[in-house]
Each structure stands twice: as C-alpha cells, then as structure tokens.
Amino acid sequence: MLDGAARARHAAAMKPILIRNADVFAPEPLGRQHLLLAGGRIIWMGSTDLELPPVLDVDTLDLGGRRLIPGLIDGHVHVTGGGGEAGFASRVPAPKLSRYTRAGVTTVVGLLGTDDVSRGPRELVATVNALREEGLNAFAYAGGYHLPPVTLTGAVRSDLVFIDCLLGVGELAISDHRSSQPTLDELLRIASECHVAGLMTGKAGILHLHLGDGPRGLELVRRALDETELPARVFNPTHVNRRKALFAEAIDLARRGCHVDITAFPVEDGEDAWSAEDALMRYLDSGAPPNRVTISSDAGGCLPCFDAEGRVTGMGVGESGALLESLRALLARGVALADVLPAYTRNAADLLRLGGKGRIEAGADADLVVLDEAGHACDVIIGGLLHLRDGQVVRRGMFEHDSG
C-alpha cells in the first residue's frame, strides 16, 4: 500500500503531458506532430497545436523537431541475470531499472537460460512484478533451456493460463550442447501446450527457441512445420544470426510463417556470424515478410565462448543498450529509420500480442522515446511517466544509487 506522501508523488507524476513539435515515427514517418498523454495513453495526436486551459495543469515537453519513436521492446532479457556456465561466481547480476530505460527500452520479456536450477520461475515472476512496480512494462516466458520445463503450477499450460505475466515458453534450447537434446515429439508437446494456452487466454502462446551453434540448426522446426498442424507463428527461434548458414535457414522459415529474432551481440571481423545490423538488412533485402523479424539484446545474459570440450574460455554480458547501438549503426549507413524501426517496436508487439504497444497513435500506450541528433535516448516515457529527461534518469529502481 502507498502512504499519503507516496500517493501524492504518484498523482503528481501522472499529470498529463503535452508533447509539442515531435518528428514522429510511428514507426512510419508522420512528420511534425503534437501529442497529449493522459492516463498512461496517447489520447490525442495532431499537426495543429493544442491550447489547453491552465486549470488542467499539464506539463509541456517541446521537442523542437527531435525524433519521437515508440518505446523499444526487448523480447529476450535475463531479468534475474543469466550465466552460470563457469561456476556460481559466473552468475550475472540482475540489471536494474535504469539499465533498460537509459537504453530506450520500455518493455522487456524476461526468461531463464542455462541456469534454470539456482534461478527458477518464482524468482523470475517476482522480478517481473518488481519491474512493473517500478514502472517498466515487464512480461516473461515459462520454462528455460531444458526439458522438462521448470514451472510454478506443475504444467506449462496452466502456468500460461493462470499467471498473468507469462506469455509463452522460452528460451528452450535446441542445437546446443547445453540443451536437454529434445526430440521432435518433446518439442511438439511443448509447442502444442503453448498454442492451446494462447487460444485460451489471448496471449502470444509462442515457443521462444534458443539456437546454439550445432549443425542441426532449425531442422526440428522444419520437421514440426512439415509433419504437424501447429501454426508456424508458434515457433519463434532466436540468436538466428549467430551462424550465417543458420540465418539463411531462418529466412526460409520466416517465409513459411515463423517470426525470427536477431540478437544484437558483438561480432568480430571474419566471424561466421552476422551483426544485428547486417542481419536485419540481409533479411529485408531477401524479400521475406518484413513484419516477421525482431531484434532483442540478450540483456543480463552471458555471452560465452567455449572450447572443443564445452568449457568456457571467455564471457561477455548482454546489454539492452545494444538495441539502440545497432539502430544507430543502421542510420549511420544511410538506412531510413522507418524501414528498420518496426523490428525494434511494432513487430515484437504484434508477435507478443501486446495491444497498444510498439506504435504511436491515438489510443496507444504512452511508451515513447525521444532520440537526440546522434540517435541516443534523451527522453523516455513509460505509461505516461517520464523515466529519462534530457539524458538524465528521473525515476530509479528502489535499490539504485543516484550515480547508477
């Protein structure tokens, strides 16, 4: 419960906001627009400025022609921290609220990875709820890398039906030495549970699949499409740019109806992988459906390198900031913002069935990011509340220090 002072602060923070002189990408370009935000939504947008009576006590944000985009949706985040492949000390700490908001991320989907033992579904759901209390849009996947999936209710389908924040199952690992080596029948059983739960609840009901470096690639998914009645949209492979041959497989699956997810991880010169920006341009140039590709960060997860015996030889950590970094790289190449922005916003919202997100229009959620001239997030609004103003964090998580 909020005390009186906290309620007063919350009410003050929820004042309507009038945004003036925004160069809106919704994600399609709409030119100079003005917007009125109230009650967590965009309640009006137009090219003619509003003159509001002072009694309404509206905060005004004049963007002076800066670009306004939908908040980024990071659909693959280790909100509890990932890692653990090199001992307990290699467990990555959970990212704090401002690590997301500084990066222009307004919605995250949390998941468990290799370590779905010391970190489990209770901690995952609790962390998602904590982020929600702090003002971030947060959801999660049931299960983790392995079969049988870790659950809260004893079954995947009932987890998805009865636990509000759970949208599907993930990241179930295939073609990876760390996976539980699922058979086709096992994969189909989990996929069918996702699909039926999605029908029952209106949730996404997808199976978010971690792809490793194994030579089998997406063979199991192709067989699932060939041999069953399950809709292709149920299967959502991620990390598809980690090998060039795997990426070619992913493009073929997108043509068959799957939505594929590119990971914004670092790629060295000469590596058999595509960077997020290279992968997205190759995808769009391939003629595959442009609405079936998304980009996520793997934030909070470790990015390990292994030797031939499966031992960790090096490790990085994913950051949500990789999303805007890849977007800036695309813009530096002269790519039109409107051509690539859907992969960071609307495509993910539609796949995850998050109505009102990933777009800027009257009635949509007031999850917005203002980009400065260099493509960094300078203002971030989530649910009508300012989290970042002029590049400075104005809302922090409970345990964040002012310098965090």
H helical segments located in 296-372: 321-332, 337-340, 346-351
For helices 276-285 and 321-332, what crossing angle results, to 10°? 60
Sheet strands (E) in 267-308 = 293-296, 302-306
- The whole-angstrom separation of Cα 103 and Cα 115 is 26
Beta carbons within 10 angstroms of residue 277's beta carbon: 24
Q: What pLDDT is recorded for position 302?
A: 67
In a domain, 398, yes or no: no
Residues 28 and 40 in one domain: yes
Domain identity same for 13 and 130: no
Binding site for Zn(2+), residues? 76, 78, 210, 239, 298
User: Does 317 map to a domain?
Assistant: yes
Are 284 and 319 contained in the same domain?
yes
Q: What does the block give as tokens for 265?
A: 């991880």
What pLDDT was estimated at residue 1?
A: 38
- Where do the DSSP E strands lie in 39-111? 41-46, 59-62, 67-70, 72-77, 105-110
Token match 């949390």: residue? 110
Q: What is residue 404's predicted lDDT score, i.e. its pLDDT? A: 43
Q: What are the residues whose beta carbons fall under 8 Å from the beta carbon of 350, sequence distance 6 or more?
A: 291, 358
- pLDDT in 10s for each residue of the chain, 404 residues: 344 444 444 545 578 999 999 999 999 999 999 999 999 999 999 999 888 877 788 999 999 999 999 999 999 999 998 766 667 777 788 899 999 999 999 999 999 988 888 889 999 999 999 999 999 999 999 999 999 999 999 999 999 999 999 999 999 999 999 899 999 999 999 999 999 999 999 999 999 999 999 999 999 999 999 999 999 999 999 999 999 999 999 999 999 999 999 999 989 889 999 999 999 999 999 999 999 999 999 998 766 665 566 665 556 667 899 999 999 999 999 999 999 999 999 999 999 999 999 999 999 999 999 999 999 999 999 999 999 999 999 999 999 875 44
Number of domain units in the chain: 2
Note whether 341 and 210 are same-domain residues: yes
In 143-291, the DSSP E strands lie at 166-174, 206-211, 235-238, 260-263
Same domain, 258 and 312: yes
d(CA 323, CA 104) in angstroms, rounded, equals 9
Contact 90, 81 (CB under 8 A): no
CATH, residue 40: 2.30.40.10
Q: Domain range for residue 202?
A: 72-351
Evaluate whether residue 404 is within a structural domain: no
Is the residue at 403 inside a domain?
Answer: no
- Is the same domain home to 97 and 191? yes
Tokens of 154: 């004893």
Peptide bond into 148 cis (omega under 30): yes
| pLDDT on residue 222 | 98
Q: Give the end-to-end CA distance of the chain in Å, rounded to a whole number.
A: 27
Q: Say how far apart CA 400 and CA 404 lie, in whole Å.
A: 6
- Judge if 271 and 381 occupy the same domain: no
Q: 124 and 236: one domain? A: yes
Residue with tokens 């530096």: 332
Catalytic positions are 298
Query: Do 243 and 382 fall within a single domain?
Result: no
- Count of residues making up the chain: 404
Binding residue numbers: 76, 78, 210, 239, 298
Phi-psi sector, 279: left (phi>0), alpha (psi -120 to 50), beta: alpha
Q: Which of 92, 119, 95, 94 is nearest to 105 (CA)?
A: 95
Query: Can you tell me whether residue 97 is helix, strand or coil?
Result: helix
Q: Is 311 exposed, middle or buried (0-12, 13-18, 19+ CB in 10 A)?
A: exposed
What local confidence, expressed as pLDDT, does residue 2 receive? 42
The confidence score (pLDDT) of residue 215 equals: 95
**At 95, is the secondary structure helix, strand, or coil?**
coil
Whole-number pLDDT of residue 14: 75
Q: What is the CATH number of the domain that holds 86?
A: 3.20.20.140
Domain identity same for 52 and 97: no
Phi and psi of 192, rounded to 5°? -65, -35
